[in-house]
Structure 1
Amino acid sequence: MTTSRVFAADTEDGVALMDLRTARGAWRFLDPVGAGLWRRVVSGTPREQAVEELVAYWSQRGADPDQVRADMEALADQLDADGLFAAAPHPPANRASGVRYVDVGTRLRPGVRVAGHMGLGVALLLLRCLPVRLVVRTAQAVGRLPGRAASPEEADAVCAAVRRAVGWWPGRAACLEESLAAYLAAALTGCHVTWVLGARFVPQGAHAWIATAGAVHGQEPVDRVWPYRAALTVEPSN
């Protein structure tokens, strides 16, 4: 189980930092300039040296060195004060080879339908009563339960079951609630998927989803732009 509470989704368009120390979790997006400072510091370059390297780099391209230094020092002060230089970068090789879309018309076994409702109920309870870091720990504990890796079809089925259950729920259930519910529903049916929290930059936003080997599940072609880059993955340990 990871002990870090700050995670990073590092992309060519910038770095998205997810801070689980807040009750609901908070995202901070750094543009390519800010990401350059962050990457240097987390890789071991002293903060002052990292700032001066960026001052030299941008000065050679015509920027005012005093302004660059002031901007970089202000950003470094803020990231340092917020503890975001302690982020744990996610391994870069996390692009999914396939995106599978949810089909609520799929025929489902009764046990899968029940698991969808139970998974949604537990997910909503956890996310409303516990800070996100404890929800992640709970999900990690679920990943240690006996079970086998879900097939793509099984992952699709739990996504469809959760989506149907959401239709009966009078409140709002977004990607965080739905993905956690699908993760829990899969465990209730005796199989495991991976729960992922990540971000994108074009357009900018955060997202949560479930995955099997090489594919993400439960997406909608009308409102999902891929790829996202993972910041935190909860992997099954059995």
Structure 2
Amino acid sequence: MSNKYETSYRLKATEDSGVEDDDSQSKDNQKIEKGPPVNNAKILLPPIEINPNEHKLQYAYALWYSRRSLGKQTSIQSYDQNLKLVGRFASVEQFWGLYSHLVRPSELTVHTDFHLFKVGIKPMWEDEANQKGGKWIVRLRKGLVSRCWENLILAMLGEQFMVGEEICGAVVSIRFQEDIICVWNKTASDVATTARIRDTLRRVLHLPTSASMEYKTHTDSMKRL
């Protein structure tokens, strides 16, 4: 069943990575915003339109999917090419419309990832918004990841972290013996902010005080490649 859903993600990513059909829009309404690069190419994405009756989120988000090749670490270029844009949303209703059609993380195959990042920030260390940042890493035993991921993204969309614009996004990674959840922020050197993110993360995931949490700067991560 997982393979079927993952195939649908790839199809959805292909559909969302272009520009909407211009035939249904007048030229005056063709306001195009510059999206993040996908597969090493700059693409143009239409602005996310919100119905007046919808509940607008503070930030617009993009959901990405990737599957890592086994064995040797991939290069930056191949990592970029593995990222597939699943969809974008800017309201509560748009989020649930997307989320309700997604397979849960626990049903994904090993070495796959979901990346939920603010629109304009690509889930890569090299992105300008991430270069001086880092991430909190939580390692989970099997069976917990779907609930924890849902709790995390609801907290993130609901601005429960209370750190202004510091949060860049979150990643869930499915691995063989464990699953991993990460929260990325912009400023690794801001100790007070990283501590607040840690404490909020522990609370929304219902982690015991003894749970293992690690903070790693993106600079250190790049050095290990």
- When the two structures are superposed, what TM-score results if normalisation uses the length of structure 2? 0.30
Q: Which has the higher contact order (CA 8 A, sep 6+)?
A: 1
Q: Which has the larger radius of gyration?
A: 1
